[in-house]
Amino acid sequence: MKHKNYDVIVAWANGEQIEYYSPKNGWQDIYRDCPNFNSSVQFRIKKIPQNFAIAANVVVNQKTTGEYLEFSKFGKQNVEFYFDGETQQLTGVLLIK
């Protein structure tokens, strides 16, 4: 019979980052050289956020209150925004012609 944390132990042995669940603090990284993988503790392979992009149709709207940009997923997309998956910060913009 496999250990409850078999897949996590194998991932750790292959160099992947492992986390454990603390009811007080949520998911926490394990920094020890040799974790005990106690079966009463919940472990998981740390999820690595993926970078992502969002395409939009961006146009200038001129109203009596001034000019502003309108962003829409509808219509011809003319701009693509790139984001860091971990920080959610904008990392780049591409003009789509």
DSSP 3-state of 8: helix
**pLDDT tens per residue across span 17-49:** 999 999 999 999 988 787 888 888 899 999 888
DSSP 3-state of 13: helix
**Secondary structure (DSSP) of 74-94:** SSS--EEEEE-TTT--EEEEE
Residues 6+ positions from 42 with CB-CB distance below 8 Å: 20, 21
pTM of model > 0.75: no
